[in-house]
Amino acid sequence: MVILLGLLLLMFFAYLGWSIIWVAPVVATFVAYFSGLDVLPTYADVYMGGFVDFAAKWFPIFLLGAIFGKLMEDTGAAKSLAQRIAKVFGSKRAILGVLVACAILTYGGVSLFVVVFAIYPLAIALFREANVSRNLLPATIALGAFTFTMTAIPGTPQIQNLIPTDTFKTNAMAGSIIGIVSGLMMAVGGYLWLAYRDKKLKAKGEGFTEPAGWKEERNDKPAGNFVVALLPLLVVVFTLNILKWEPIISLLTGIVSIFILNAKQYKTFVSSVNEGAKGSVMAVINTSAAVGFGSVITAVPEFKDITNLLLNVSNNPLVSEGLSVQVLAMITGSASGGMGIALQALGATWYQLSQTGAVSADALHRIASVASGASILPHNGALLTLLAVTGLRHKETYKDVFVVALIIPTLALVVGIMLAAVGIV
């Protein structure tokens, strides 16, 4: 009950627009106190431990990703790509253009956090040209980066698709039919919803508005050469996925390529790097605060009872696994975190069932992956990063994120379980 109350409080305050930076530790302290934990040690060791561990691991990615995105914006590269995508899909299909761009990068192996930073300036240019409300921007990026290409489409190199391989002795292509069907449900269903919402908003006279603090003169900045604009993105994708370089090195290489290809604009580089660096700090702190809260939740004694209840909710391992991974990902605010907890607890048991022929290991892999992504509540770390980058609040955007990144993926998960139950994998 304390965990549930804590989650409700965190989501409520996040939805109101209160900063997660101070709300998360306050609510975490509340949960710790009423769970019988020592408050100060829990804050210092558990909350800050989770906070610092996440920041230490991901800050370089946030920093370089933000700088990369800012340079793409200020050199005119993002505008050039936006114009080309608009030509391909039509200026009226900005949502589809952003969705496809996100999906390509995510399936190419680019970190979700990097995708957010890299796509944002491109998305702003596309939405401006098509007069689409910025309130739909987080949902569009979330659909393209946090759903079907992250968990469902076979072969995706995202960690949510790789974690189950160790448990079930599978590969990234496991459960291909389930993945394709559930992925199409998410992609098509999500796009249709966003297209419907765009039409409704425009009917009410709600179109594009410039982000707060946006400099109007930037709108008239000429677009760069398309090939020059595309090359830095290709450099990052190629070095990350083909050459298997570390993400930090790939991003650095992408940044250096922007410097070289746009050498004539060298006078703007320092200000672009500075602004990108500033933007990365708020994003990483927001996400780290949510991760710290999740660390406290998992340390509460009641959390073990919740885990045991979820893992034994059904005799059907597909249902048990899907529900366990989804709910634990919701509670922790992390797709990979919730999946890791569930697989650590009962992964070996599920794998043994697959060896007896009771259920397919490939199906278990894909269901776990899809379930992990169907979990974006207001305190989700990736969502908080997305909102920090776009400068929007839950109250303005979460309704659409809820539909495309939680409701539709949940329906896709149910269909995936039904397919697996009848032997379609």
Specify if 316 maps to a domain.
no
Kindly state the average pLDDT of the residues 368-375.
96
Query: Is the per-residue pLDDT at 357 higher than 90?
Result: no
- Regarding predicted confidence, which is higher, 241 or 368? 368
- Residue scoring higher pLDDT (207 or 14): 207
31 within domain boundaries: no
Cut 0.75: pTM above it: yes
Q: Which residue in the block uniquely carries the two structure tokens 């980058």?
A: 389
Domain assignment present for residue 144? The answer is yes
Residue at 400 is within a domain: no
Most confident of 47-61, 82-96, 187-201, 248-262: 187-201
Token pair 């109250």 is found at 395
Range with the lowest mean pLDDT among 90-94, 248-252, 377-381?
A: 90-94
For residue range 274-290, list pLDDT tens digits in order.
Answer: 988 988 888 888 878 88
The pLDDT of residue 217 is above 60? no
Quick check: is 310 in a domain?
no
- The rounded distance, in Å, linking the Cα atoms of 246 and 373 is 24
The answer to whether 40 and 255 have CB atoms below 8 angstroms apart is no
pLDDT digits (tens, 9 = 90+) for 401-410: 999 999 999 9
Judge contact between 304 and 79, C-beta under 8 A: no
- Burial string for 56-95 (b: 16+ CB within 10 Å, else e) reads eebbbbbbbbbbbbbbbbbbbbbbbbbbebbeebeeebbb
- Mean pLDDT (the chain) is 89
Q: Is the pLDDT of residue 218 over 60?
A: no
Share of the chain above pLDDT 90, in %: 51
- The count of domains in the chain is 1
In a domain, 371, yes or no: no
**Which tens digit of pLDDT belongs to each residue from 296-352?**
988 999 888 888 888 788 889 999 999 999 998 998 888 988 888 888 878 888 999
In this prediction, residues 344-369 reach a mean pLDDT of: 91
Does residue 271 belong to any structural domain of this protein? Answer: yes
State residue 72's pLDDT score: 85
| 321 in a structural domain | no
3-state SS assignment for residue 169: coil
Domain of residue 249: give its range: 55-161+183-207+220-287
